[in-house]
Copies of this chain bind each other. A is one copy, B any other.
């Protein structure tokens, strides 16, 4: 069974659904499809059919499909589902998924649902709900299976047998009498090891763990950096609380980067789940109005230099070039800087090195482009003074926008504001106004100097 076929299958289902709005929804279509594919199909069919398709699934499938749905669809479905079917759905979910599920409900429904569960589970979920949805505690699976250093391999295996859960186990974690995490053993080593061997003889000591309050991005980066398929979650005292498997955070690892792409472009990453053009316009307009406001500053700058411009119209032709180059070189630097800041928590970056690197490159790029545009304008306008004005402005613009591109993100992260979301619009607007000002200031200075004003 090749994924290629899988993809084809989904594609055909999708086109079938989008072509024929009335195509019959028999769950027989889905029995063979993967939950992730069904979820995708649901999020693609017309809104009035989405719930129909979901209901067409048999109970067993619903849980798996539900967790794969985009969050806005999840909450929508929850609202439109009565408590009994909600409970049935809930029972199909794994603990960490169930916790997310609960957090989508309002207080009352949460309590109702919980009250339906056995005491032990109730307690477990109430604790899970205490942690933020975005924290390690929010995405972890609380551990019910633990082994002690003194146990034999056979005892450990016996425990796993009794534990009987469909949550995937990759490592068995070893705790002391205070439930403090002291070691871990990969499942396969248990199989390979001699049954009578003591766990303490085959366990790895003090494995890498994440704190229950760590943000899920930290978890994602840790898992990625140390190539962990599963990571234990502990509290400040080192007590073992749960575990997170890589598949719980791979989306985090990915979306983390994805979100930055969007934020830097002034796009809300939730857009992916939005279909209405109006909604999107509403999401993008705030950012654009900031830019508009900013460009009014440039407009103001330009107006104040009108006298010079009117005396040397040719300068206007190169205005966009100066602004564009300033904006682009600023964008390059801010992008690199923002990416580096994102990973600093786990992947350490050397700021001094970065600063040296960026600013030096700014100077070099500035000189090169300045010289280039100076030659161009010289050939074009056949006037050395204009060549000097345009070239020197280009140099300064590029250098200064490299500086803003580097220092503004760092400044924001110091203020604990996400540099990605904050820098994008600010840098663009700032560089635009600055470029215009530099250009016209240089013009007036040099024109005066050469006695042309």
A325 at the interface (CB under 8 A from B): yes
A411 at the interface (CB under 8 A from B): no
Q: Among B164, B277, B357, point to the contact of A359 (Cβ < 8 A).
A: B277
Interface residues on A, range: 35 or more
Chain B contacts of A368 at CB under 8 A? Answer: 281, 285
The stretch that binds B, out of A23-31, A106-114, A330-338, is A330-338
Chain B contacts of A364 at CB under 8 A? Answer: 277-278, 281
Q: What is the distance, in angstroms, from A101's C-beta to the closest C-beta of chain B?
A: 16
- Beta-carbon nearest neighbor of A246 in chain B: B246
- Beta-carbon nearest neighbor of A300 in chain B: B317
Chain A binding surface SS class: helix
Contact B208 A224, beta carbon cutoff 8 Å: no
Give CA–CA (A4, B346) in the complex, Å: 9
Q: What is the distance, in angstroms, from A8's C-beta to the closest C-beta of chain B?
A: 11
Contact A245 B271, beta carbon cutoff 8 Å: no
Contact A373 B309, beta carbon cutoff 8 Å: no
Give CA–CA (A299, B309) in the complex, Å: 15
Chain B contacts of A318 at CB under 8 A? Answer: 299
Give CA–CA (A353, B277) in the complex, Å: 10
Chain B contacts of A332 at CB under 8 A? Answer: 265-267, 284, 287-288
A365 at the interface (CB under 8 A from B): yes
A2 at the interface (CB under 8 A from B): yes
Chain B contacts of A222 at CB under 8 A? Answer: 3
Contact A348 B254, beta carbon cutoff 8 Å: no
For window 158-212 of chain A, which residues contact chain B by CB distance below 8 Å?
Answer: 160-161, 164, 168-170, 181, 186-188, 190-192, 206-211
Contact A339 B246, beta carbon cutoff 8 Å: no
Contact A428 B359, beta carbon cutoff 8 Å: no
Give CA–CA (A238, B376) in the complex, Å: 60
Chain B contacts of A291 at CB under 8 A? Answer: 324-325, 328
Chain B contacts of A292 at CB under 8 A? Answer: 321, 325, 369, 372-373
This chain: copies in complex: 2
Whether A329 contacts B284 in the complex (CB less than 8 A), given A3-B211, A11-B348, A157-B191, comes out as yes
For window 315-358 of chain A, which residues contact chain B by CB distance below 8 Å?
Answer: 316-321, 323-325, 327-329, 331-332, 335-336, 339, 345-348, 350, 352-353, 356-358
Q: Among B14, B226, B251, B316, point to the contact of A36 (Cβ < 8 A).
A: B226
A360 at the interface (CB under 8 A from B): yes
Contact A2 B238, beta carbon cutoff 8 Å: yes
Whether A335 contacts B262 in the complex (CB less than 8 A), given A3-B214, A234-B2, A309-B313, comes out as yes
Give CA–CA (A271, B14) in the complex, Å: 40
- The residues of A with any CB-CB pair to B shorter than 8 Å are 1-4, 6-7, 10-11, 14, 18, 34, 36, 40, 44, 157, 160-161, 164, 168-170, 181, 186-188, 190-192, 206-211, 214, 218, 222-229, 234, 236, 238, 245-247, 250-251, 253-254, 257-258, 260-262, 264-267, 271-272, 274-278, 280-281, 284-285, 287-289, 291-292, 294-296, 298-300, 302-303, 306, 309-310, 313-314, 316-321, 323-325, 327-329, 331-332, 335-336, 339, 345-348, 350, 352-353, 356-361, 363-365, 368-369, 372-373, 376, 380, 428-429, 432, 436
Known: A3-B346, A295-B321. 7 other contacts (CB 8 A): A1-B238, A11-B348, A187-B187, A250-B250, A278-B361, A303-B314, A323-B323
